[in-house]
Amino acid sequence: MKSQNAPALQELAQDFREALRHSVYLVRRLDADGELSTAQLSTLKMLLDDGVRVGEIAKNLGVRVPSATEQIIKLERAGLARREADPDDSRAVRVVLTPEGRDAIESANRRRNAVMAGILESLTDDDRRALAAALPVIEKINSTIQN
């Protein structure tokens, strides 16, 4: 079994990487609607559990702390997030969503989900089932970024 799995693993790795690499461009296109950039939406979504520290945002996104800071400053200037002092640790900063930020997530998602739904609509039921079954797996793989 091992000797049968080993080559399949390599091939799966190759094909999956290829698919993800292509998806990078798809995401860019989907997000190029002038609402929120991919990076800003990703950063905003981190704030849905209230009061997140900058370092955590960076870790969860898989970027360095200065990159997270930069995004947060942009979100703050746009009125979508706010930085507050951490009561427990005055080195730290707690980033919170503003109501406008919450709305912005909603709005960007609505529009982009509609576009994606339009694409998914052209698939077969089997295709959609296969996709749905793989999503938890993909998220499991994505979560390895945090280490």
Q: What is the C-alpha separation between 93 and 118, in angstroms, rounded?
A: 40
Q: Is 28 in the site for DNA (CB under 7 A)?
A: yes
We find the least distance from the C-beta atom of residue 86 to its own copies, in angstroms, to be 25
Q: Of residues 15, 18, 33, 89, which one binds DNA by CB under 7 A?
A: 89
Q: Write the CA distances from 22 to 13, 16, 87, integer angstroms.
A: 14, 10, 44
Residue 145's binding partner among DNA, its own copies, none (Cβ under 5 to 8 angstroms by kind) is its own copies
Contacts with 70 (C-beta within 8 Å, 6 or more apart), sequence order = none
- Cα-only R_g, the chain: 18
Coil/strand/helix, residue 27? helix
We find the least distance from the C-beta atom of residue 45 to DNA, in angstroms, to be 13
Residue 52: count of CB within 10 angstroms of its CB:
21
Q: Which spans of this chain sit near its own copies (rule: CB under 8 A)?
A: 5, 8-10, 12-30, 38, 41-42, 61-63, 109, 112-114, 116-117, 119-121, 123, 125, 127-128, 130-135, 137-142, 144-145
Positions that interact with DNA (CB under 7 A): 25, 28, 32, 37-40, 42, 53-56, 61-74, 83, 86, 89-93
